[in-house]
A and B are shown apart, each in its own frame.
Chain A
Amino acid sequence: MKRRIIVALGLVAVLAVALAAATSAATKKTAANSITVWLQTDAQSGWPDVVAAANQQFQSAHPGWTVNIQYQSWTDHLQKFDATLAGGGGPDVIEMGNTETTKYMASGAFAPLDKTQFDNYANWLPGLAASGRYGGKTYAVPYYAGSRVVTYRKDLFAKAGIKKLPATTAQYMADAQKLLAKNKQKGFSPVYIAGEDWYVAMGFVFDYGGGIATEVSGKWKGLLASPQSIAGLTAFKNFFLAASRASKTTIETNPNPYNVYAEGLAASMVGPSWFTCCVGKKYTASTAQFVMPGHIAGKTMPGFLGGSDLAVPVTSSNKALATEWIKDFTDTASEKALQAKGNIPNATNLLGNSVNERAAARSWFVPTAKHWVDVENGNILRNMLGQILTGKLTVKQAAQSASDNVASVLNQP
């Protein structure tokens, strides 16, 4: 009898402590007069002044309010965001890659926005606008886009006797041999491309008329094993083996190509146009950019049109102010400032004639499917490229298995 009472008392104590813990968690107060904005670190390293100007504008229109900018990294910001959806304490504004938004819009994670209150809404870049629209409503505002171009060393190209910029991929490959002959350092790449840089590799695929996946009467069909895609992947393999000394199995951010370039170990690199930011003082003057040539003369290689959107999570308690901040950060002045940093502004009426903007003329984009983000996170394309470059599988085998994988992930309920 006694024993039972003691056990019961123990349980009561457990419950009491648990209840106390639960109540104290519930009464946690939120910071007053501040909105939290999650931006990617690209803004931190590339255009902190544009962010500061938008904050200034917001704060002068809303005295007493401050903006708390928290910089996030692409690799884990979604997991962090998911945690805040469940537990609170999340941002009032979040930046999302245009390949990431669909899944969240479909799950009701964002508050609907009235697009007419934003500058240039009628001319938003079609690719970005589509990634912010779901079921006829706007949930995310285009922030900026970026295309991929070649950043190169004029001095090294001149020293290797390259008088004209390459007009085809084949010419570029020949130039790579000339560059290699003049630069014998260990690990030197005429064209630095990470082996598993799927953004570059898919450019070849699209250049040859291939694709990743397409929707056929409501069902996704993998395209990577099509003859065109295989031709593209083979061209990528040949180009990589001839021009890049990067690891065959590393990704495009490890190391960052501009770091390799800044160390003097690359004559050129393929990547976002803002790569000029970080080529190092020594090479800033001798650095220029051109549009990656395709395999047919006169046609550029399609580049990945990446971009970011800004959204207001449903969990935000300051939705109106959050929208105001997005308005300030995406107004014409901010977009022009972003453009000056080498980005593509969010609207067609603001487009100029930079290398970046010319590259955007022929671009490709990932399938707009709810589960696309799972394909990216599952590293299916990267894995395929590693298998192809290391020769573990033939191009056909690797492409077939990746294609099946992509289709099965995209067709999940």
Chain B
Amino acid sequence: MRGTSTTAAAAETTLHRSRRQRRFWNRSGRLAVPYLLVVPVVVVIGLVLGYPLYWLARLSTQKYGLFELIQHHGTSVGFANYSSVLHDQIFWHTLLRTVIFTVANVALTMVLGLLIALLLVRVSTVVRLLLSSGLVLVWSMPVVVAVQIFYWMTNFQNGVVNYVLTELHIGNYDQHDWYATTFSQLSLVTVLIVWGAIPFVAITLFAGLAQVPHDLVEAAEVDGARPWAIFRDITIPVIRPILLILTSLSIIWDFGVFTQPYLLIGQAKITPGNYLMSIYLFEEGYFKTDFGRGAAISILMLLIVAVLSVVYVRRMVRIGTAQ
């Protein structure tokens, strides 16, 4: 640039600089876009999750009972709440019961949901329409209403279930008490939960099954593959990501389920002998007005669910990168 006049040189420098500047802003603008897009989510999550979580964690390290509730401040006790929960026999029994309960619920939901989804693929359009409308109706029923109807159906004195089972000569179910044992109580809750969860699983899997390449199935059939082999080697691998996400969501929902067991069994019938984790949390925290201990239980529950879902999330991410 030595041969040019100073004004021209200056002009050129300005031009260069502004061009460079524009390029800089363009580049950083492009870099900033993803962050800007993420801001609303961060704000919302911060508000609805981060802030309460912070208070929950704080509460879990405090003695916070009725007295503290009225004074509006607790006294710090470090990790005493956690150690009291972890030394509580009831906690471990409840955890075991909840894990078994969750496994049963998730397994039943996934297997029945998958079977119905496979059925939806095979049936005629009219039947498919009827079936999926039925599923959507189940899904749209408020939980509280569903609980009440289940409760009426299984009523001791004049429930329709006892009547039908007796009329069908399956046994004498006259005045059979479905709420007499923990197993019977939790089995009813399982029926209610699985019944309510199947629609979502079935419809989602049905959508997933539409992704199974038809020509691949045909080719396998030509090669003489049996239906089971086709299902195992073609269908399942295609819908695996959906299966995984549905399973992990179901685990999270069923592990922390509260409404169905609490309302169906009823507060007056709830004892440490039939606690599920969320009910244990509610009874310890609210009924005994020991909010600090309740907060510690809910943090522990959160950690357990996080550990359970990490396995699935990692496998999902791996599938995502492989594809």
Contact = CB atoms under 8 A, between A and B. Distances in A.
Interface string B27-47: 010011001101100110011
A306 B194 CA distance: 42
A380 interface: yes
Contacts of A378: 271-272, 283, 287
B36 A109 contact: no
Question: Secondary structure at chain A's binding surface: helix, strand, loop or mixed?
Answer: helix
Contacts of B288: 374, 377
A71 B47 CA distance: 34
A290 interface: no
B42 A107 contact: no
Contacts of A106: 67
Contacts of B31: 2-3
A184 B114 CA distance: 49
Contacts of B287: 79, 374, 377-378
A108 B70 contact: yes
Contact of B269 (A7, A249, A260, A392): A249
A42 B46 CA distance: 45
Given A247-B175, A249-B177, A21 B47 contact: yes
B107 to A, nearest CB: 28
A215 interface: no
Measured as residues with beta carbon below 8 angstroms from the partner, the interface class of chain B is: 35 or more
B67 to A, nearest CB: 4
Interface in B56-108: 65-67, 69-70, 72
Contacts of A254: 266, 268
A379 interface: yes
A407 to B, nearest CB: 16
Interface stretch (A10-18, A44-52, A267-275, A339-347): A10-18
Nearest to B46: A14
Given A186-B174, A254-B266, A6 B35 contact: yes
Interface string A1-32: 01100110111011001100100000000000
A174 B269 CA distance: 32
Contacts of B134: none
B180 A386 contact: yes
Interface string B260-301: 000000111111110000000001001111000000000000
A247 B70 contact: no
A107 B65 contact: yes
B177 A247 contact: yes
A259 to B, nearest CB: 10
B157 interface: yes
Interface of chain B: mostly helix, strand, loop or mixed: helix
Among A10, A108, A392, the one with the most B-chain Cβ atoms within 10 Å of its Cβ is A10
Contacts of B272: 378
Nearest to B31: A2
Contacts of B175: 186-187, 245, 247
Contact of A2 (B28, B50, B179): B28
A181 interface: no
Nearest to B71: A108
A17 B43 contact: yes
B173 interface: no
Contact of A82 (B32, B43, B66): B66
A379 B35 contact: no
Interface string A78-110: 010010011000000000000000011011110
A2 B157 contact: no
B51 interface: yes
**Interface size, A (range):** 35 or more
Nearest to A75: B267
A251 interface: yes
Contacts of B35: 3, 6-7, 10
Nearest to A109: B70
Given A6-B36, A18-B47, A86 B69 contact: yes
Interface in A212-261: 245, 247-251, 253-255, 260
B127 to A, nearest CB: 40
Contact of B180 (A109, A249, A260): A249
B43 A85 contact: no
A378 B289 CA distance: 13
A139 to B, nearest CB: 13
Contact of A107 (B39, B66, B271): B66
Contacts of A153: none
Contacts of B43: 10, 13-14, 17
Interface string A312-347: 001100000000000000000000000000000000
A382 interface: yes
Interface in A63-79: 75-76, 79
Interface of A: 2-3, 6-7, 9-11, 13-14, 17-18, 21, 75-76, 79, 82, 85-86, 103-104, 106-109, 186-187, 196, 245, 247-251, 253-255, 260, 265, 314-315, 374, 377-380, 382-383, 386, 390, 392
5 contacts: A6-B36, A109-B66, A251-B268, A254-B268, A377-B287
Given A18-B47, A245-B175, A250-B177, 5 more contacts: A10-B39, A85-B70, A247-B175, A247-B179, A253-B268
The 4 A-B residue pairs whose C-beta atoms are closest, nearest first, are A14-B46, A107-B66, A107-B67, A247-B156
